[in-house]
Structure 1
Amino acid sequence: MSTFRLAGLGRLRRLQEDHAAAELARRATDRRGADRRTSDARDRLAGTVLSGTSDPQSWRAAVAARAAMSATVIAAQAAAEVAAEHETLAQSQWVAARKRSKTVEKLAERHRDEEQVAELRAEQQVLDEMATQRAARRVEEES
């Protein structure tokens, strides 16, 4: 049985696929964290109320705090969008790596199938030769 000449390439493609899958998992974790931080920031913003105080400094401080929280929500949303884009890119890279890996796997499978057919063909030839020799001996014995 001959060795599959692209076996090394197959191992490389599987390693690349594994790396892409790990990167995708990391990016998905990053995106979930960014989504959680966005949700937390929104909840904190929704929890702030402007008190009806008549003190102008307290009012300005409350407005400034609310504006800062609003900016935090906007920043968290932007970070979540970037994380989602990175996850989408990682997903497409994993799909491409999987396709390359699958192509080599199919070639290896075809090689194994061809090897098996060749082995069966050789076995059949041996059996046919044995049957031919046995028939020839019978003819000799009968004559």
Structure 2
Amino acid sequence: MERAFRLAGLLRLRKLQEDEAAGRLALANAELRSAEAVRVGTQATLAAHSMPDGDRLAFARGVAGRAALGGLVTEAVTVAGAAADVARVRTGEWSATRSRSVALEKLEDTHRAEVRSEDDRQEQLALDEIASRRAASVGVGAGGSMLADGSRNGAVR
């Protein structure tokens, strides 16, 4: 079994693509928050606007001011909606790049587990070989078995 993950280069590329998509998503979300803040502020300004008491000229200015604020609210709502659309698109892009990365990450995890299993198997074979050589050199089979203190069980002296 190969020790190196064959698709490591592709996984690095997918991670970079995912990072770029995450950056674009973060930027889109920041723009959305900013647009929403402008919208909320403009709506609050419109809600706080009151019509002046007095002559017809003051009332006409009040109506014109309110109409202008209404236009600004409409514009802010449109900008916020467009920012939300961009954020949704960026979320979809990030999700797609993330799913491609996850598939490769799972393959890499499987590969690592297989390499670890093979390493454990090789280590166990080496330990078994060492134990069988040690047992053969001590002569366990002829004259009894070896006890923990080094004496023989069943050996004739």
Compute the TM-score of the two structures, normalised by the length of structure 1. 0.85
Q: Give distance in 2, aligned partners of 1:140 and 1:82.
A: 84
Match of 2:155 in 1: none
**Which has the bigger relative contact order, CA under 8 A and spacing at least 6?**
1
Q: Give distance in 2, aligned partners of 1:93 and 1:46.
A: 38
User: Per-residue displacement from partner, 1:25-80 (whole Å, max 9, x unpaired)?
Assistant: 1111111111110111111112222223333x433332122111101101101111
Q: Give distance in 2, aligned partners of 1:47 and 1:113.
A: 64
- SS of corresponding position for 1:5: coil
The within-5 A match list for 1:36-51 is 36-51=37-52
User: Per-residue displacement from partner, 1:75-120 (whole Å, max 9, x unpaired)?
Assistant: 1011111111111221222222222112111111111111111111
Unaligned runs of 5+ in 2: 144-157
Greater shift, 122-131 or 37-46, is seen at: 122-131
Match of 1:78 in 2: 78
The within-5 A match list for 1:29-108 is 29-55=30-56, 57-108=57-108
Q: Give distance in 2, aligned partners of 1:2 and 1:73.
A: 61
Counterpart AA for 1:86: V
Counterpart AA for 1:98: R
Counterpart AA for 2:76: A
Post-superposition shift, 1:136?
5.0
Match of 2:147 in 1: none
- SS of corresponding position for 2:40: helix
Q: Give distance in 2, aligned partners of 1:94 and 1:84.
A: 15
Which portions of structure 1, spanning 4 or more consecutive aligned residues, are displaced by more than 6 angstroms? Answer: 139-142
Alignment size in residue pairs: 141
Counterpart AA for 2:23: A
Q: Give distance in 2, aligned partners of 1:80 and 1:41.
A: 12
Q: CA RMSD in A?
A: 2.2
- SS of corresponding position for 1:50: coil
Counterpart AA for 2:72: T
Q: Does 1:18 align with 2:10?
A: no
Compute the TM-score of the two structures, normalised by the length of structure 2. 0.78
Q: Rg: which structure is higher?
A: 2
Q: Give distance in 2, aligned partners of 1:51 and 1:128.
A: 97
User: Per-residue displacement from partner, 1:108-138 (whole Å, max 9, x unpaired)?
Assistant: 1111111111111122222333344455553
Counterpart AA for 1:83: A
